Amino acid sequence: MGKFINIDFYVDGLHASANPHVVGLPALTGIDGFVHTLERQFGFCTSSWSIAYRRFDMDGAHLRIANYEVGSNNSKSPSTPSTILDKRTASLEGVLIIEVNDDDGNIGKLVDSLIDGIEGFRFCGGTFMLGNESITAWETVTDSLKAVGKCSRKPHFFMEDMTHILNQAPEGLSKLDWLMDLIARPKNYDPENPQLAYECESLGYLTPVVKGYQLLETPRERQNTRFDLPHAYAESVIGLARMRSLPSVLAFVNQYQETPVIFWVNDTDDSQGNLLWDVRSISIEL
């Protein structure tokens, strides 16, 4: 058995509000956290992971009270909500691919352990359950990708990193404004449009993703905290991705003998001292 584990899954009750700016696909940090939980619980080491979506349904939205202002005991002055959030949930089906370090050759036992114990884990706020194809292991990334198509007749789409485009923002336009401009564009357009800052025949379906967190201040001690540790305020790092179909991914592999940048690793770069968590994309050579 091989180094790539395919987990056919579905999740109900997924939190689709990654942060106040992004609603839709789960945050990369949330998926990375789930993979890290599996590492701790089942005792293996991960080199990278990728995810293929085949169904994503928004379940709608409902109001969630975040904080309370406590009123008096008088029934005419009850407690009132000070903050109301719009919480969105979703249902998700797909295949999670995990590249596992298999130096001791025990991947078969790992697959059996995952099958017996993975259901019921929390995945981005939802409940993780196994799909019809359960969990399988493969020798190469090509075999793993081809096996994804056998899990269902429905098309599968991988999340390909396109964050580099955000660095091509026109002068005078912030990255956030440029991001909004990109995802609002028609999916097919004339590359000679003078408003474009780069050449591309078609960008496909673009979506913002949360790929990390960065510090807004230096951590320091604070009063009334749960743990006696330094605390700091942080904000989400927004990236850009596009959904790439499985046939397109396999065609790329056949032509270039490597995968597109659809695999992800936890690779925090603390050289600037402000990245708290960073999920970086990689390609895997055959």
- pLDDT digits over 198-228, tens only? 344 466 778 888 888 888 888 888 887 777 8
- pLDDT digits over 64-104, tens only? 444 434 343 444 444 444 444 556 788 999 999 999 987 77
Separation between Cα atoms, residue 83 and residue 252, nearest integer Å: 47
Q: What pLDDT band is residue 195 in, cutting at 50, 70 and 90? A: very low
The token duo for 175 is: 């990255």
Higher-confidence position of 278 and 49 = 49
**pLDDT at residue 80, as a whole number:** 44
- pLDDT digits over 109-163, tens only? 999 999 999 999 999 989 999 999 899 999 999 999 999 988 888 889 999 998 8
**pLDDT at residue 119, as a whole number:** 95
pTM for the model:
0.82
